[in-house]
Amino acid sequence: MPALASHRKPRTRVRSTTPAVGLTTAALAGVTLLSTQSAMAAPASPKPSIEDVQKKVDDLYRQAGTATQQYNQAKEASAAQRGKVDALLDDVAKRADKLNDARRTLGNYAAAQYRTGSIAPSATFFLADDPQAYFDQNQLMARMAGRQQEAVTDFRTQQAAASKKRAEAAKSLETLTESQATLRTSKANIQKKLGEARTMLSKLTAEEKARLAALERKKEAEAKRKAEELARQQAAAKAEADRKAEEAAKQAGSGGDTGTGTGTGTGTGTGSDSSATTKADKVLAFARAQIGKPYVWGATGPSSYDCSGLTQAAWKAAGVDIPRTTWDQVEIGTRIATADLQPGDLVFFYDDISHVGIYKGDGMMIHAPKPGANVREESIYYMPIYGSVRPA
């Protein structure tokens, strides 16, 4: 008997959603965990302290000062190279004229030879009216050949000289292009550093700006205290030197047991010392007259200055030419210890020698400080001293 077909409805499998819910919950938990870990791994940067801001801004101004010296150096090199290129181009033009003259001379000889043609010497002898005429004509042709050879030699010489000068001019133009590129880079770097400093200062609150000003006053007071200490030391050293000189003069005047001698000499200081003092006076007189004028990077006066522009102009007023940049100025004259500084000496600052001022005495200097400030008097201890020189 055949099996009866089952009339029961097949069971439909119902898929459980529980695992999906579990996966979603796990994913959310994972995201939450990652978010928590990220927050723990990268906390918000704390706001810098006013001391940090002061240090950073000072460093940005120092970097801008370094870039300014690079700009000054590139500008000076560019100007010098431009003069050299112009001179070479003038020379190339003159040599081109000489070359053209030599070329025309050769052309004249070639045209003359083409018109007369080339005749064998034997034919010339037989065609001549008499033997003497032949010899005269032959001698004339020899002289013409000599001149033609001279013209060829002159042409080749002018051609070689012109080619050499053109190569020099091309190389100088390449150097000029490099100097101008350095100039643009230095200018952009200055603007970048100054922009960063201005941005940092603009974010300060009124209270923070007041605290920053208080820190500046504290820094200035400490620098002034050190300047006063140097002034006392220099005054004591001078007094001791004067005392010893006076004692030496007394001993020289009273020496000898024979009391009948009469001295007639009149002592005078050395001319070099007098000349140096006169120059220093002129340097300081010029520098004082610039107080209150603004600092502008790359400026050399008369309405504004950067630091090395002021020192260069001041010594020029005393009749002494010194280089443009701090890096070159520090290499001139005589090195001087800080304790031995005299008015007119140049004092350099920072390890990269990016700033300079004019010593005026008593631990103070006149300098063009930084963008946003004017030429002023300030303690030489306001910045870390690198060294000092006496230009003349």
Active site members: 307, 355, 367
Amino acid at 232: R
∠ Cα 375 379 385 (to 5°): 100
Quick one: tokens of 215? Answer: 């820190």
DSSP assignment of 75-108? HHHHHHHHHHHHHHHHHHHHHHHHHHHHHHHHHH
Amino acid at 204: L
CA–CA dist 123, 138 (Å, integer): 12
Nearest-CA neighbor of 77 among 212, 219, 175?
Answer: 175
CA–CA dist 119, 108 (Å, integer): 19
3-state secondary structure of 335: strand
CA–CA dist 279, 158 (Å, integer): 51
* Helical pair 50-116 and 131-202, crossing angle rounded to 10 deg: 170
* C-beta separation of 354 from 102 below 8 A: no
Place of tokens 């890096």: 327
Helix (H) or strand (E) holding 330: none
- How many residues make up the chain in this entry? 392
DSSP assignment of 99-168? HHHHHHHHHHHHHHHHHH----HHHHHHHSSSHHHHHHHHHHHHHHHHHHHHHHHHHHHHHHHHHHHHHH
Nearest-CA neighbor of 104 among 164, 150, 61, 155?
Answer: 155
Strands (E), the chain: 334-336, 346-349, 355-361, 364-367, 376-379, 385-390
